Structure 1
Amino acid sequence: MTALPVDFDPTDPVLNEERVPLREFLELRKSAPVWWVEQTPEARAGFLDTGFWAVSKHEDILAVSKDNENFGTNENGVIIRFAPDMTREQVELQRAMLIHHDAPDHTKLRQIISRGFTPRAINALKDRLLERANTIVDDALAKGEGDFVAEVAAELPLQAIAELLGVPQEDRRKLFDWSNQMLAYDDPDYNADPEAASIEILTYAMQLAAERKADPKDDIISKLVNAELEGGALGDDEFGFFVILLAVAGNETTRNAISHGMQAFFDHPDQWELWKKERPDTMVDEVIRWATPVTVFQRTALNDVEVGGQLVKKGQRVGIFYASGNHDEDVFDDPDTFDITREHNPHLAFGGHGAHYCIGANLARMEVRIMFDAIADRMPDLKPNGTPRRLRHAWINGIKEMPVTYS
């Protein structure tokens, strides 16, 4: 049996502010791959049960992700730990978001939303994002030094979302601030008000939807809200929650992948030299595996079911820890080594290849590639200029500040 303390909780925000608990995950994979986490009343705010099963093995995470018959998201959503004052009613409101739906509603909504994420739609953004990435790097260079997160890593994802939605570029910082407020409820630096921020995004999104219904344009908003399109359209509230999802999933996750990727290159300068010289295509997925911006999501058992030899009872929550699966020594050769030439890389950072696999995965990959190409081309000698500051959070592997010297 594992030697971990009985009160070990891998969603502890204070622990995750210090580090992702990879040492503890290694021990769980070896001795208790499905481990019961008994949460304090504060930690389980908004949930009716007393804890959850932590699933740490790659194969078990994949199995749960793909098993729509025995596991769902609608009852409790995918977020495993909310703000301490979250009520059950507020948890249930999350059901309006795509990621918290089960089939058949999830299938219908995903089919509508996928119109905006076709290969053609994503490729149409490429030239504009290449130009914007170069401008982002040049603007940073002009400063000489600064915060890599705010000035570089955050900018391209924000501009991509603005391009994708047809949002005015001058409004992108609103999305940045609102998404920070929605997610940073555990971090005292932000004094976050998630409910107010979500209302702001919903209001803004509904205004955009109304404008595109009255005057359709060639953008994703028009595609999603106009009912004459085959397959139906999103209602105002559905579109609003989609924008929340895009602002959070498309901004926070890619921003943190780029930030962690740059830190990994700082820590492994041989890999940075390799990237500058050879530009292997495998870099992108290794950065994303290494970062794993979302460390865990959850499912709720719809039936009594066995996971990794452990009986999970109907109604119990299961945490699928992508961060652990992405370091599973049974799947990855030398998983604790950052290797941008890694060929076999079946990482789980986009959600385990089930029904909830990240719909924007190809856009995220393109942004990471474009950003690191621009950095290597235009400021190849940038250097750290202080200690990065991590986000205090239960399930986001975030860097909130990274001082650098641009050169």
Structure 2
Amino acid sequence: MRPQIDVRPDIDIIDPGVYERGGIPHEQFRWIRDNDPVFWHHDLNEGVPGFWAVTRHADVVHVSRNPELFSSHVRSSLYEEFSEDDLALFGLMMLFQDPPDHTRNRLKVNRGFTPRMIKQLEGHIRDICNELIDRVSPLGQADFAEDIAAPLPAYIICELLGAPQEDREQICDWSNKIIGFSDPEMAGAKEEAAALSAELMAYASELAAQRRAEPRDDIATKLLQPDEHGNVLSDEEFQLFVLMLVIAGHETTRTGSVNGIQAFFDHPEQWERLKADRSLLRTAPDEIVRWTSPLNLFRRTATRDTELGGKQIKKGDKVVMFYGSANRDERVIEDPFTFDIGRDPNPHVGFGGGGPHFCLGTHLARLELAVLFETILDRMPDIRPAGPPRRLRSNFVNGIKELRVEFTPSPSRSV
């Protein structure tokens, strides 16, 4: 265990600029975990009440697993504050629902994300990884974030939905700009992100109409058909599901991929270890997710007065879980500041802290990361950095928007 930090640093764990400049502020989080683990934090906006920052693993798990106390529906599960009209729309999305509504809708979509269904995608994922590497392999250099990490999940989402290949770049662009609204380079305004979300939902509506008229062997068709109990997603529910899939499904894999390769650059002995023992591809994805915490936070709202970490939480208080902190909590994670791709067990909360909102795409994210890094081992084993990473200005996504890499050039595969 690292020594306790006795002197309080300047605490600001919510300003997107903090994350843009240096990534997750782990030293600040260590001080908070050790000294004030449920910490009252100011809001970025003057005149807006602050929030409770939940930083220890056990408290994140407690909040996650008690939706009757800590609601995703009241005021949404995102940090930002939204209008009542926005909240009414968001309330139809699983990400912003509590049981029993969440339970009912989750059951409708679970059938598309079973381990057996996801395993069937492995060949498609491998083909996509090779296709992306084919584009850059003769060049000997690439922007890993833009050329590989960003398109990979977008292309896989197209595969899941049975969307045309020519729509891949549009879906990728929607996700980048909707998620990156706090970064001026990515979009620059919450209003633009809302408009792009509406575009994506209109696209999903057209896709639903096509699948109802011409069913196919894809998850979209499966979700639009009645299950064994006769339950079926409405058109609006399907639109919101696609929006959630593009945001959550795209960003976890994109961010895990680019931060994962950066972690290997920072710890080259782990890359050599993976080269020597491919069986570590079983445990490496979870360690990458723990180490990078692709989604840094989610918000809940207290539904009644309660106690958390020795603090009195009032009904209506804003409660924010910081996964990047919980994933380095020495109380639960042994030697948490060591990147260990063989870590097993690995009780991280990178896919959520359990409870109803545990990540629907966990199996898919693990498979995507395992196949991607296996393909890199095969195709560009000497990959190395060619410049410093440029980070996303976001307190939500622990993202890198540019990472130049180089490697020994090789020909594209013959098709």
**Aligning the two structures, in what range does the TM-score lie when normalised by the shorter sequence?**
over 0.9
Stretches of structure 2 that go unaligned for 5 or more consecutive residues are: 1-5, 409-415
Partner of 1:306: 307
Partner of 2:397: 396
Partners of 1:133 and 1:309 lie apart in 2 by 48
Partner of 2:413: none
Map Cα deviations across residues 343-391 of structure 1 (whole Å, 9 max, x no partner): 2310000011111000000000000000000001111001111111000
> Quick check: 1:294 aligned with 2:295?
yes
Moved more, 126-135 or 320-329: 126-135
> Quick check: 1:21 aligned with 2:20?
no
Partner of 2:363: 362
* C-alpha contact 1:76 1:92 (8 A) present in aligned 2: no
Map Cα deviations across residues 113-172 of structure 1 (whole Å, 9 max, x no partner): 112101221011111212222222232212321210111112321221111110112211
Pick from 152, 164, 170: which aligns with 1:168?
A: 164
Residues 271 and 228 of structure 1: CA distance in aligned 2, closer, same or farther (over 3 Å): closer
Partners of 1:167 and 1:28 lie apart in 2 by 45
Indicate the SS of the match to 1:298: strand
Indicate the SS of the match to 1:54: strand
Pairs within 5 Å for 1:178-197: 178-192=174-188, 193-197=192-196
Letter in 1 for 2:153: P
Partners of 1:298 and 1:198 lie apart in 2 by 20
Letter in 1 for 2:232: A
* C-alpha contact 1:332 1:344 (8 A) present in aligned 2: no
Map Cα deviations across residues 190-212 of structure 1 (whole Å, 9 max, x no partner): 23420121011001000000111
Pairs within 5 Å for 1:1-400: 3-5=8-10, 8-18=11-21, 19-41=23-45, 50-81=49-80, 86-192=82-188, 193-227=192-226, 230-279=229-278, 280=280, 281-400=282-401
Residues 393 and 345 of structure 1: CA distance in aligned 2, closer, same or farther (over 3 Å): same
Letter in 2 for 1:126: E
Partner of 1:47: none
Letter in 2 for 1:74: H
Map Cα deviations across residues 330-355 of structure 1 (whole Å, 9 max, x no partner): 11122111111112310000011111
Partners of 2:302 and 2:45 lie apart in 1 by 21
Letter in 1 for 2:96: H
Indicate the SS of the match to 2:138: helix
Number of positions where the alignment pairs a residue of Structure 1 with one of Structure 2: 397
* C-alpha contact 2:128 2:152 (8 A) present in aligned 1: yes
Stretches of structure 1 that go unaligned for 5 or more consecutive residues are: 45-49
Residues 206 and 2 of structure 1: CA distance in aligned 2, closer, same or farther (over 3 Å): farther
Partner of 2:3: none
Partners of 2:177 and 2:197 lie apart in 1 by 9
Residues 228 and 369 of structure 1: CA distance in aligned 2, closer, same or farther (over 3 Å): closer
Letter in 2 for 1:28: I
Partners of 1:375 and 1:153 lie apart in 2 by 12
* C-alpha contact 2:180 2:393 (8 A) present in aligned 1: yes
Residues 168 and 159 of structure 1: CA distance in aligned 2, closer, same or farther (over 3 Å): same
Residues 272 and 74 of structure 1: CA distance in aligned 2, closer, same or farther (over 3 Å): same
Indicate the SS of the match to 1:117: coil
User: How does the TM-score come out when normalised to structure 1?
Assistant: 0.94
Partners of 2:214 and 2:343 lie apart in 1 by 48
* C-alpha contact 2:15 2:44 (8 A) present in aligned 1: no
Partners of 2:248 and 2:255 lie apart in 1 by 11
* C-alpha contact 1:140 1:152 (8 A) present in aligned 2: no
Residues 195 and 330 of structure 1: CA distance in aligned 2, closer, same or farther (over 3 Å): same
Partners of 1:71 and 1:291 lie apart in 2 by 25
* C-alpha contact 1:43 1:81 (8 A) present in aligned 2: no
CA drift at 1:88? 4.3
Partners of 2:80 and 2:399 lie apart in 1 by 16
CA drift at 1:180? 1.3
CA drift at 1:184? 1.2
Indicate the SS of the match to 2:75: coil
* C-alpha contact 2:212 2:224 (8 A) present in aligned 1: yes
Partners of 2:183 and 2:88 lie apart in 1 by 23
* C-alpha contact 1:298 1:317 (8 A) present in aligned 2: yes
Letter in 1 for 2:262: Q
Letter in 1 for 2:242: V
Structure 1 consecutive aligned stretches of length 4 or more whose deviation exceeds 6 Å: none
* C-alpha contact 2:178 2:187 (8 A) present in aligned 1: no
